[in-house]
Structure 1
């Protein structure tokens, strides 16, 4: 099985409160700190990352920047164990979620997918499902039982957090595939939030969107950072500067695997970079 930008890997059964719970959909887990230690990755004999370490603080937005082919998206997929879906893929190192290695043999894959959600570059709502069904897809496909009232509350809560509720609240039974591109991406964000992740990974979520939709997604991200840690891959330097708290600059010299050249506070990275290669990249002199 190979990983595709258009494939959503559904996580484990989410914890759905009982019918008598109060504000069930509004509550959720706290943001988690994510830390990568010494991540080295291969596809077959081709090494794509070399000893990459990065701490992604809880409740903050971390932007991964750098030119194409430097391993950013591979690194992102390693964080929630999607890398291992590629038959030829191998990796070394650790990914710690609040200090616990998600690759520990005693840890279940489904637990990592539940705690660390993913939004892909291309909006990928399930076309045969309604807007409501898309949000609830994780519950439906894992056989999780919940009352209608709990489901309704979850749908509204997630669509509000995804910045989409006001636009679709009167047509929840309309096909999710009938929404505009920007709306579809926000629906995918809402779908990811329904499983109550502690970290949300976003792989160039605005690259296929118009400026207006991009602005709405960015506003949504900044709101979500209050309750979920966000890690975003972006080639848009203005976007990284606008939305992220910290940045990590990836680079792969010709014929060598990707490494992190520099990382730290976003303002410092853009205004006072320590490495001249960082300065050249963020100011558009290459990449």
Structure 2
């Protein structure tokens, strides 16, 4: 059964900034998911508030990444995949038949676990790659301004401004991940999904990504999957704890403000997980 707790601001995260008009609230309603006959999620409901970071935590194999992919319609790319339920962005159904899939992915962007810049493409062109995919045309001056703006927001501009024509694949792992964040921001998403964005990075790069998340949340709603409990405590305003037990599909055991989830969880399984007793 899903339980929730009263809202309090986590001590390790700043209070959510006043929501920009472009920020979106993402709501999942009774999401179930299958790969073929295998059910991997069971009736997951969660509201991811505008102007906040929501962390999805839980052991491997409990459906967190599948849930994340459902939020921007990537799940349906898998031939055997199916789902039930609704995903709403400010009350509008992302899976409505009249909505183009490219529109859904423009509004709900994605940063993956492994940095995936186009290796032979320049830093400049990597940043703008999403514009071509979404059919957006812009003047050279507009493109130049957008590159600087997005690389600055991703915390990368000062490091690469003198070598924008160098290949993106020549950057370090942490820089490549920030380049991918910049690429996602260039299409002006209202929500940014992050699937373990720091799992392949060293501590210094991880800290820089976390700083970037803290800076970005005033402009884009963020949902992050992480196995790092310290990271979840540092960066998020609310957490949702996923669990799949004894061969059952993944479900949310408990969700609520991060401070309450770590210090006053309602379910003993949540307490065991966030304090490292399993998972």
Q: 1:105: Cα distance to partner? A: 1.3
Distance 1:139 1:118 in 2: 15
Alignment-derived partner of residue 269 in structure 2: 277
1:231-284 deviations in whole A, cap 9, x for unaligned? 000000000000000000000002100000000000000000000000000000
* Kept in 1: contact 2:75–2:81 (CA 8 A): yes
Distance 1:141 1:114 in 2: 9
1:143-181 deviations in whole A, cap 9, x for unaligned? 532111100000000000000001001100001000000
Alignment-derived partner of residue 87 in structure 1: 79
The match for 1:170 among 141, 159, 162 is 162
Alignment-derived partner of residue 154 in structure 1: 146
* Kept in 2: contact 1:29–1:197 (CA 8 A): no
The match for 2:104 among 109, 112, 120 is 112
Distance 2:85 2:137 in 1: 37
Q: 1:110: Cα distance to partner? A: 1.3
Alignment-derived partner of residue 198 in structure 2: 206
Distance 1:149 1:164 in 2: 20
Distance 1:215 1:47 in 2: 36
* Change over 3 Å in CA distance of 1:29–1:172 after alignment to 2: farther
The match for 1:74 among 66, 76, 80 is 66
Distance 2:156 2:21 in 1: 22
TM-score (norm 2): 0.92
Distance 2:118 2:31 in 1: 33
Q: Which has the higher contact order (CA 8 A, sep 6+)?
A: 2
Alignment-derived partner of residue 183 in structure 1: 175
TM-score (norm 1): 0.89
The alignment status of 1:34 with 2:26, answered yes or no, reads yes
The match for 1:49 among 21, 38, 41 is 41
Instruction: Write out the 4+ residue segments of structure 1 that deviate beyond 3 Å after TM superposition.
Output: 140-144
Alignment-derived partner of residue 140 in structure 1: 132
1:59-101 deviations in whole A, cap 9, x for unaligned? 1000000000000000000000000000000100000000011
Q: Which secondary structure state, in structure 2, belongs to the residue aligned with residue 50 of structure 1?
A: strand
Distance 1:119 1:79 in 2: 13
List aligned pairs for 1:246-285, cutoff 5 A. Answer: 246-285=238-277
